[in-house]
Amino acid sequence: MSVTELLQQLVRIPSVNPDNAPGTDRIGEAAMAAWLKEWLEGIGATVELEEIKPGRPNLIATFAPRDGRPRILLGPHLDTVGVEGMTIEPFSGEIRDGRLWGRGSCDTKGPMAAMLWGLREHAEALADSPVAIDFVAFMGEESGQWGSREFARRHAADYEFAIVGEPTGLDIVHVTKGSLWATLRTTGKATHSSQPEKGDNAVMKMARALAALEDQLGTRLAGFTHPVLGHSTLNIGVIRGGSRPNVVPDRCETEIDIRTTPSLDDAGGVLEVLKEALEGTPLELVDPHDNPPMETAADHPWIGRIRSVRADSTPVGAPWFSDAAHLSTAGIPSVCMGPGSINQAHTADEFIEIAALEEGATFFTRFIQSAIQNLKSEIR
């Protein structure tokens, strides 16, 4: 089996996140976790499945006992985004034009395959390594990040560093924006559209309030800056309201996404800033969901070890968020890294360049070998 064949196998196992329009009934992470458990046990790992939501586990694979030695983890996520609107067969794993196609091939089964390949090449040596290197695959990254949140709550104290698998072109993403997702709601009074003056139009309330919110909150967010990430931003992504053109709507909802920089924490956090902006408006805040920004020092020793293996891997920032933020917030210094381009993630024709996948497998193989050999030398 080659790393390309390994990735084909992963793509052919649907693991679509059931939230947010999956576009298929082949949902959830259980089948992927079960396949990985068998594969990892086949190369000598001890594997646990920790159920986070019904039928949706995290997977934790260890190659060395928990005996007090330092531990790091390689951590991709199990789930993919939905497949609705894809222009290719999402689970084919087809190879064409030097690329491997299918949902998850880039985000993030490609990085996962590269990590697994490196572990496979050194599985026997990892049992006696001075540093334990675990493989942890998280559920739910593409929605609520419940997998990494719960893993961090239970296990953060066991680890000193994490490489989270994301398509970064093998650059080292050491700082990312956070994200607050929230629903805003307006309510009104329904009536027949022939007499709109007798009703209270929730859609029009929403439209007027959003225009003011974008101006006021957008301006304030622009003041929270970071030398790598730029400034915090607001996007109004979804709006829905009303039932028929001849009924004055009594309810309207919109979903927003605020991308946050670390300096927002100094102002009391993004949620407090949003609540202040909503004061005096007809907008009701519903079900906010906050993902923190992440920042690991570019001169962290483990980043230095990564760069000693691959000097072309540059510490960079990214405007997106990932499981790494929850690990970092819980005290595990973390970075995101893997083959592939974020430009192919979530696309209708998702793919990864096979040359990039192979380069990723080579990197993780060399990184694991270096961690074993160099730390043995340091201990001597």
Longest dimension (CA), the chain: 86
Residue-level pLDDT at 375? 61
Residue-level pLDDT at 299? 97
Residue-level pLDDT at 49? 98
Residue-level pLDDT at 265? 76
> What DSSP letter does each residue of 142-153 carry, written as one string?
TTT-HHHHHHHH
Residue-level pLDDT at 311? 97
Element (H, E) at 174: strand 172-176
Contacts 24+ apart (CB under 8 A), 149-156: 149/326, 150/50, 150/52, 150/58, 151/50, 151/58, 151/60, 151/327, 152/326, 152/327, 152/329, 152/330, 152/332, 153/330, 154/50, 155/60, 156/327, 156/330, 156/331, 156/332
Residue-level pLDDT at 380? 45
Question: Up-side HSE of residue 45: CA atoms within 13 Å toward CB?
Answer: 25
Low-confidence ranges of the chain (pLDDT < 50): 379-380
Domains of the chain by range and CATH? 3-175+293-379 (3.40.630.10), 178-291 (3.30.70.360)
pLDDT tens for each residue of 288-304:
988 899 999 999 999 99
Residue-level pLDDT at 21? 87
> What gap in Å lies between CA 130 and CA 263, rounded to an integer?
38
Question: Up-side HSE of residue 157: CA atoms within 13 Å toward CB?
Answer: 3
> Of the candidates 294, 230, 296, 226, which has an alpha carbon nearest to the alpha carbon of residue 263?
226
Using an 8 Å Cβ cutoff, are 99 and 4 in contact? Answer: no
